[in-house]
A and B are shown apart, each in its own frame.
Chain A
């Protein structure tokens, strides 16, 4: 469920960064307020624990496949929603930095999808409500199952929305939704089962660990409405601001740069144009690729590339292709030059 940078747009990434930063700031404040210093090492070690526990393969009966722990809900249950959210966030930061598992721009999305819904929706609104009348094995089971499933469903839905708003994929909304939700229903069930098993076991062995964690955080007092209101305002503001910024450089821009880059360069004042033209004459080692010859080009200097093919002008796309290859070769040469230069330099240094 970790989203990659390549699949999101700056507007979506930026908005979700802002929203997540808002939630994280709120959670930090809460954690700092009830600062029991013991909690700091506890959060750190628990984060590492979840990280390590994610590596365990749990074999799912009668399927032959295996599932993994996500850990968001477990962290919320053991540390409370605020510390749980921050711990989940730090796990995701490390995953993004060290394993490129989820991008850095997409980090806001990922922390929100995996941390917010479990810690701030599923945990207080479902798990806590079910546990209100006291702990029992069956309540623990039902509470964790339902919370895990709903938390993951919301997270998956949020992935779908963020991806579609980003507009990088052509997957239609319905198809993507039908792809994501059922898969995450299964993943959520496994997550619920694992969490239930762990919480149930620990509760039997050391009930105070589970009970103290949740009673320590008077969750009934989470002003969820306030949190949501702040979130909505932040989202609208950043979204609005960023899309205004984006529309100042409309999407068409990229297209047009791509299509008309030739034109733009040619329409600059004569001096540059002529110099360019003469450079071109000298450097054009692929003159045969010039389709203009096939098109009885008048070649008066002011001619723009004519639409020879239906959608994209082949003239510019071929120069894009050739230029692209050239760019890659140049990048490679640059790398080699640096290596050579360093090799030459090294003996004299040592």
Chain B
């Protein structure tokens, strides 16, 4: 009845990404700041392509392919997560073929509307950007992403808050899950929480959470918390880390300004001589 399946999925997803982040491949060992910057660069370049630019976009797929294989990331769960998020993107993009009907010739005998091109371009961009975000966390982990953010001068309070939220998600999801399970056992055949119980169920959970926060605070104080929060120290940045960022950036910029597939196609078809 209640979103138990969804909850399990959520927890599994967090656990999976945490486990993956614990691997020790070459990609995992690259300095987190460089990985964050590479991801941002990738996203920026991907999104900057014009809506009709489809072929030029494709070489960007090398980035996720290389990272996935080098970092030993299992493809299926990542793709599953990606497909899970796609419907929203498809939902907005699918209107393009209806509103943009400029004819574009694909093959001499096939002509489609420009809207389809921009729709596919949105799909490719959607897949690439989603992959990049997931790969960042799967190869870096939240604590090291947080340390990278700290290096980018994001205020400590925010980072502390981010890490604490993350740390307690698993715990609170389990707690909410137990409450929902108890509720569903007492009221079988209902689809969700009845309106008369909206306030009491959520309110009780909320008050328990506040008490938990109190306990958390007290135990933090017992362990010497003074308002400071230590974020894990990072290894020094090496030439290799910078080269990783520089190499990918160069690749992204080249892809952005030279349409490699069109060029390849030109070589293959002998077209345009």
Tell me how far the C-beta of A229 lies from the nearest C-beta in chain B, rounded to whole angstroms.
22
Indicate if B34 sits at the interface (CB-CB under 8 A). no
* A290 to B203 Cα, complex, angstroms: 70
Q: Chain A CB within 10 Å — which of B50, B96, B201, B260 has the most?
A: B50
Q: Which residues of A contact B104 (CB under 8 A)?
A: 311-312, 317
Cross-chain contact B161 with A40 (CB below 8 angstroms): yes
Q: Which residues of A contact B164 (CB under 8 A)?
A: 40-41, 43-45, 47-48
Q: Give CA–CA (A337, B124) in the complex, Å.
A: 24
B56: min CB distance to chain A, Å: 6
Q: How many residues of B contact A (CB 8 A)?
A: 134
Q: Are B265 and A321 in contact (CB under 8 A)?
A: yes
Could you count the A-B residue pairs with CB atoms below 8 Å apart for me: how many are there?
444
- Nearest CB to that of B106 among chain A residues? A317
Judged by a CB distance under 8 angstroms, whether A178 is at the interface is no
Within the assembled complex, what's the spacing in Å between the Cα atoms of A31 and B164?
Answer: 16
**CB pair B89 A57 closer than 8 Å:** no
A200 at the B interface (CB under 8 A): yes
Interface string of B82-108 (1 = CB under 8 A from A): 100100110011011011101111111
Distance in angstroms between the alpha carbons of A200 and B264 in the assembled complex: 65
Q: Residue B172 at the A interface, CB < 8 A? A: yes
- Asked whether any CB of chain A lies closer than 8 Å to the CB of B226, the reply is yes
Complex contact B271–A291 (CB within 8 A): yes
**B202/A6 in contact, CB under 8 A:** no
Q: Is the CB of A332 within 8 A of B65?
A: yes
Determine whether the beta carbon of B202 is less than 8 Å from that of A169: no
Within 8 A of A (CB), among B232-257: 257
A283 interface hit (Cβ, 8 Å): yes
Q: If the complex has contacts A44-B168, A47-B164, A52-B172, are A251 and B216 also in contact, measured as CB distance less than 8 A?
A: no
In contact, A320 and B50 (Cβ under 8 angstroms): no
Any chain A CB within 8 A of the CB of B210? yes
Within 8 A of B (CB), among A1-50: 2, 4-10, 13, 24-25, 28, 31-32, 35, 37-38, 40-49
> What residues of chain B lie closer than 8 Å to A335, measured between beta carbons?
65-66, 68-69
Smallest distance from the beta carbon of A96 to chain B beta carbons, Å?
6
A350 located at the interface, meaning its Cβ lies under 8 Å from any Cβ of chain B in the complex: no
Asked whether B70 is an interface residue with its Cβ less than 8 Å from the other chain, the reply is yes
- Contacts known (A105-B43, A328-B58, A334-B66); A301 close to B273, Cβ less than 8 A: yes
Residue numbers in B under 8 Å from A286 (CB-CB): 268-270
- Does A217 reach chain B (CB closer than 8 Å)? no
26 contacts between A and B (CB under 8 A): A4-B129, A5-B47, A7-B89, A9-B47, A24-B158, A25-B155, A52-B175, A57-B2, A86-B158, A94-B142, A96-B133, A98-B134, A163-B92, A168-B122, A175-B95, A261-B262, A286-B269, A301-B273, A309-B108, A315-B272, A319-B269, A320-B261, A321-B55, A322-B265, A323-B263, A338-B70
Mark B residues whose CB is within 8 Å of A: 1-3, 6-7, 10, 13-14, 17, 39-40, 43-44, 46-56, 58-59, 61-62, 65-66, 68-70, 72, 81-82, 85, 88-89, 92-93, 95-96, 98-100, 102-108, 111, 114-115, 118, 122-123, 125-126, 129-130, 132-134, 136-137, 142, 145, 155, 157-158, 160-169, 171-173, 175-176, 180, 190-195, 198-207, 209-210, 212-214, 216-217, 220, 225-227, 229, 257-273
